[in-house]
Amino acid sequence: MHSSSAHGPGSLFNQGSCSSVSSPPLPPDIDLTHGRQFHPENVYPQHFSQDDIEVPTGDRIYLACPGSKRKCPHCNAHVAHNDCLVIAIDGACSNNGNDEARSAIGVFHGYDSGFNISYTLDSFDRHTNQIAELEACSRALSDAIIIQAEWDMADDRLSAIVIKSDSEYVVRGLTEWLPKWKKNGWKNAKGSPVANSTYFQRIERLIEQLEQDISVKFWMVPRERNGMADSLAKSAIEGKGTGQLYYAV
């Protein structure tokens, strides 16, 4: 299932447990446990480029080990943490803000992954880009629950899910604004009801379910670094989506 040039369970998000001949332990001043937002610039050394952070292996995308000194000469990639998955999400909405709006989501797990999905949200009453982004996030976290269960049955250990998004609304909403909204009774700073609060509450329940066993992080990237999920969402708008999958669990 996993690459041989990879670290085992808990090695990235458990400080100090990373050990390998090619990848020494993480520096003791690196703290990955505070907050849900993932900041690679605070974790990876300068010799890592943005392209180095993700390691495609099989049908999954893993996080690279920050302690990796050099890339494998054969696959041109750093050592991967095979317990830390990256899932990319995106939402799209044509004619955003008017009566002819149509929205869709894209969720990218890895090249040739059976979990890759894109579909329109035609059954929704409202179509906005923000709702599509939130629905994509909800779908990715639901997928993560399925993946975690599959790994548990296979006696594998999943330690972290990193949701990659180009949406500031999603990432900051879930990592910065949500605690304030909850404290204020789901009212914003102006005292008005939080828009799309039911979506945020549903996502929070999914996060909390996952966090019983693993870490859940959110990674904000520029749009150009989220091309696969973006393409999936746009393909659904254009009528070329993969369709929605239903799981029997």
Residues ≥6 apart with Cβ < 8 Å to 45 = 66
Task: For residue 30, name the pLDDT band (cuts at 50, 70, 90).
Answer: very low
Q: How confident is the model at residue 7 (pLDDT cuts 50, 70, 90)?
A: low
Q: Could you tell me which residue, 19 or 68, shows the higher pLDDT?
A: 68
User: Strands 54-57, 80-94: parallel, antiparallel or unpaired by DSSP?
Assistant: unpaired
**pLDDT score for 3:** 43
Please give the pLDDT value at position 21: 30
28/82: higher pLDDT: 82
Average pLDDT over residues 214-226: 96
* Closest residue by Cα to residue 141 from 121, 176, 125, 165: 165
Q: What is the value of pTM for the model shown?
A: 0.85
Confidence tier at 13 by pLDDT (50, 70, 90): low
- Rounded to the nearest integer, the mean pLDDT of the chain is 84
pLDDT, one tens digit per residue, over 90-120 is: 999 998 878 889 999 999 999 989 999 999 9
Rounded CA-CA distance 34/246 in Å is: 34
